[in-house]
Amino acid sequence: MPGEPILLMKNFLFSCLFAVALCAPPVAAQIASAPGVTPLRVRTQSDPVYPFEMVQIGVREGKAVVAISVDAAGRIDDCLAVAYTQPEFAHAALSALRHWTFEPARYRGEPVAAMTEVTVNFEVQGTVVVSMTSAESMAAWMAAMHPESGASRPRLLRELDRIPTPIVAVPPRYPADLAQKGRSGKVTVQFYIDENGTVRMPSVSNALDLDLGALAVSAVQQWRFEPPTCEGRAVLVRAEQVFDFKQAEAAK
């Protein structure tokens, strides 16, 4: 409608409106240093235990990367093993990390939800090294992962049999009051699509205005896809969507 703000979504084919309450969005580790953002911090943790079954079969080391979504109270509300050298290492990492507690991230002094990735390195001597990692370092490790038995990682879009088909796609509504205040710009939301086609861990990875990021994340949380497949097998895929909030021309 002339005079109303519009939202442009790159490389997406759906156009419908959805009203959503404005709130602080889940933020990814990449923007922890953005103005007004205080990053997520670990409060208490329990160390993963080296899987005994791996010792029995002579596996001397392993690794798992776990994505964690933490709510505004510092509690984990979703945990997803996104890459691992053996399933047993993923299970051990998940078992421990689910008991971690956090000091929540903050935006403009208010606690907000956040998403981060945790890398767990296992060694047969019993040493376990846990580190928070950026998406970039996680991606570099996944790209170098040896194709050993049991290894798993998120697939790239180019590796899929076809681009995942959206079943439900709700674009964020761009409120007129924000547009009138000059609140515009691009927002990048990163997320996973799991083997069932469910969106997991949506978070803002790049945005100049996190209030607009909240609108984008709230919409992406409702998206659903046909299960992504690679060589006919359902797989986990990492994806991102760029939203461009722009003002329409003034009504004539």
- Residue 213 in contact with residue 230, Cβ under 8 Å? no
Amino acid at 164: P
Partners of 66 in the beta sheet? 81, 118
* Beta strand pairing call for 37-38 and 27-28: unpaired
> How far, in Å, are 42, 116, 118, 236 from residue 131 at the CA level?
11, 11, 6, 22
Q: Full-prediction pTM beyond 0.85?
A: no
Q: Which residues contact 214 (CB under 8 A, 6 or more apart)?
A: 22, 23, 24, 25
In whole angstroms, give the CA distance from residue 110 to residue 144.
Answer: 39
Q: State how far the Cα of 122 lies from the Cα of 101, in Å rounded to an integer.
A: 21
Rounded distance between C-alpha atoms, residue 171 and residue 229, angstroms:
24
- CA distance linking residue 53 with residue 60, whole number of Å: 11
Q: Which helix (H) or strand (E) holds 129?
A: strand 128-133
Tokens 């969005």 identify what position? 25
The count of residues in the chain is: 252
Over its length of 252 residues, how does the chain's per-residue pLDDT go in tens digits?
434 443 433 332 222 222 222 334 555 555 555 667 788 888 998 888 889 898 888 888 889 999 999 988 989 989 999 999 999 999 999 999 999 999 988 888 888 888 888 888 888 775 556 665 555 555 555 555 555 556 888 998 889 999 999 999 988 988 888 888 888 899 999 999 999 999 999 988 888 888 888 899 999 999 999 999 999 999 999 999 999 998 753 222
